[in-house]
Structure 1
Amino acid sequence: MFPMLSTENLERALGFYRELLGGTETYRFPEGEHPVFLVLKLGESDVGLGAITSDSRPLHGQPLRPAQGHRIELCVYVDDVDATIDRMRASGVPILLEPTDQPWGERVAYVSDPDGNLVMLTRS
């Protein structure tokens, strides 16, 4: 599965997924300074980020809109949940659940990405 997220601010979304979560850009369209779609590699997975613009015309014909409510939840594996949360907090990312040990053995935290998508961080 390859999730593709729509974003009202591609640079802000890149700051979150690339800078704070360590994603590596693997695809850009169009090439150059002003892409409208990017793919980032996060560990063994990819996530697509598509810019919502006034002239966005998706193939499916449905209007693109930012997240509202709990439509999707992403799980991102990180090396150190606490250190990742510290970096995010310093960057102003909303922390929804502080790092917490779960009964099934994982350490988990929740944050909100720049478009309101829920992101669960857990140890890899």
Structure 2
Amino acid sequence: MDSIGYVILYVSDLDVSIAFYRDVIGLPYKFTDAGYAEFGTDGTRFALYERRRAEWLTGQPVTPGPAAEIVLVVADVDAEAARIAASGATVLSGPADRPWGHRTVHLADPDGFVVELAQEIPRRRTRR
């Protein structure tokens, strides 16, 4: 295996999560069908699925994990952070320069998943 086809988050309220990723984050919304919503992202597909419907896929109740992070690459993290903070979204940290070559801001989505917006900047440390 050498590629990731989809990243799907199981969410508690599909409409609220669609609004967050479409209206706050700014991902291009594609469609909703039977508890599933997909966004127009390049490469790996990003989607949401109603958690209450996920049990038929997994055979057991599905709950969010204690930690999950979605990273979205942006051109200007400061502009995105200001726009998103003005929308009332929960900003967890940043913007801040990271030594691995990103300027980041961390947000919480409606289900508590961490969303990182990252802008590439020069690395301050090398890899070993």
Q: Name the residue aligned to 1:9.
A: 13
Q: TM-score, normalised by structure 2?
A: 0.77
Between the aligned residues of both structures, percent identity stands at 29
- Whether contact under 8 Å (1:78, 1:123) holds in the other structure is yes
| Deviation sequence 1:74-93 (CA, Å, 0-9, x none) | 11111221121112212221
Q: 2:86 aligns with which of 90, 98, 102?
A: 90
Q: 1:80 aligns with which of 76, 80, 98?
A: 76
Q: Name the residue aligned to 1:50.
A: 49
- Gaps spanning 5+ residues in structure 1: where? 31-35
Deviation at 1:25, TM superposition (A): 2.6
- Whether contact under 8 Å (2:90, 2:108) holds in the other structure is yes
Q: Name the residue aligned to 1:105.
A: 101
Q: How does 1:11-26 map to 2 (within 5 A)?
A: 11-26=15-30
Query: 2-side partners of 1:62 and 1:92: how far apart?
Result: 34
Q: Name the residue aligned to 2:125.
A: none
- Whether contact under 8 Å (1:99, 1:107) holds in the other structure is yes
Deviation at 1:56, TM superposition (A): 5.5
Corresponding residue SS for 1:119: strand
Query: 2-side partners of 1:97 and 1:58: how far apart?
Result: 36
Question: Cα gap change, 1:80/1:112 in structure 2, threshold over 3 Å: closer, same or farther?
Answer: same
Q: Name the residue aligned to 1:60.
A: 58
Question: Going by fraction, where is helix more abundant, 1 or 2?
Answer: 2
Greater radius of gyration (CA):
2
- Whether contact under 8 Å (1:102, 1:108) holds in the other structure is yes
Question: Cα gap change, 1:56/1:100 in structure 2, threshold over 3 Å: closer, same or farther?
Answer: closer
CA RMSD of aligned residues (A): 2.0
Query: 1-side partners of 2:119 and 2:41: how far apart?
Result: 13
- Gaps spanning 5+ residues in structure 2: where? 121-128
